[in-house]
Structure 1
Amino acid sequence: MNKEAHQKIIDQGRGFIDLVLEPHGFTYEVLDCGNSSGGYFTQAAFTRPDRRLTFSYRWAIGCAVYHCQGESTSHEALMEYLGVDRQSAYVWFDRSDPMSGFQSLAKDISAYLQSFLTGSADDFTKLIRECMENRKPNG
């Protein structure tokens, strides 16, 4: 994939997430982008003063992580903690479709993470901490 095609996917895909986050004061920013041995990549964030969602994109969206008041956790971990990992669109998205991950992440945020959108920073930080304290060990 060339740089222009990569950027087009990012621009189209982030539009799905913008629809959910912009009304709540989030703005989009690119943190890093470039070409490496695995191809073009982008690391970006949706931010507002008290919290942010970071993600990466190379061949599909990945590493979606929520940050608030110095705490952070992955989207997958939050879905598991909330007991909706089997219903999560993002956990099961079609990695062969470049838009699927963006659409799925936006759908999950709307359906399961109102606390990220409208809750207080203290309440969302509490959710992150509880999630991390109750994580199931891998394996």
Structure 2
Amino acid sequence: MSTPQDELVEGVDWLRPLMEANGFEFSLGETGTGSGGTFATGQYRRGDRVLTFSVRYGLGMVEYKVGQSGITHEDFLRYSGAWGRHAYPNFGGTVQASFSALKQDLANHVQVFLSGTDAEFLAVVRARDAEPNKYKGFASLGGRR
């Protein structure tokens, strides 16, 4: 039976070509057992840009940071207008399928984090900060206002 750390390391193999091509380096983060079970975290970093993710029973929280400004994968997709065309989250699949889906999103919808300017990335964060509840409740189901 695979551990969350095994699953995370395998998942990193899906992301590695894309991330390394954009100058990011991987490091394993915290691993252990919490109230929700065994988990592992990891991150890709290039300078002050960091992609963090976790594995417990599946690929969990995915977050992007530039400097002190961060945004979850789901919020990035929603506030950048890519929600509805995304591959991750892909509920019900394997951890490896989730990492593959995340790689698709990185290549197709999150290029601004990989190779864009800080200003381009921060524009999405500012849009979220300006209307933090825009996609809460029923609006989070994907409908547009």
Same fold (TM over 0.5): yes
Match of 1:61 among 47, 59, 62: 59
Gaps (5+ residues) in structure 2?
A: 138-145
Closer/same/farther in 2, CA of residues 126 and 84 from structure 1, 3 Å limit = closer
Aligned length: 136
TM-score with structure 2 setting the length: 0.83
**CA distance in 1: counterparts of 2:27 and 2:56, whole angstroms:** 16
Q: Which deviations, in whole Å up to 9, do the C-alpha atoms of 1:57-110 show, x marking residues without a partner?
A: 10111110111121111110111112221121003x143412121111111010
Hey, what does 1:122 align to over in structure 2? 119
Identity of aligned residues (%): 28
Local SS of the residue matching 2:95? coil
Matching residue within 102, 116, 138 for 1:105: 102
Distance in 1 of aligned mates of 2:3 and 2:41: 16
Q: 1:137 to 1:84 in 2, by over 3 A?
A: closer
Q: Which sections of structure 1, spanning at least 5 residues, go unmatched?
A: none
CA distance in 1 between counterparts of 2:93 and 2:106 reads 22
- 2:30, 2:40 within 8 Å by CA — same for their partners in 1? yes
The answer to whether the aligner puts 1:47 opposite 2:45 as a matched pair is yes
Q: Does 1:20 align with 2:18?
A: yes
Paired position in structure 1 for 2:142: none
Alignment of 1:23-42 (within 5 A): 23-42=21-40
Q: Which runs of 4+ in 1 moved over 6 A?
A: none
Q: TM-score, normalised by structure 1?
A: 0.87
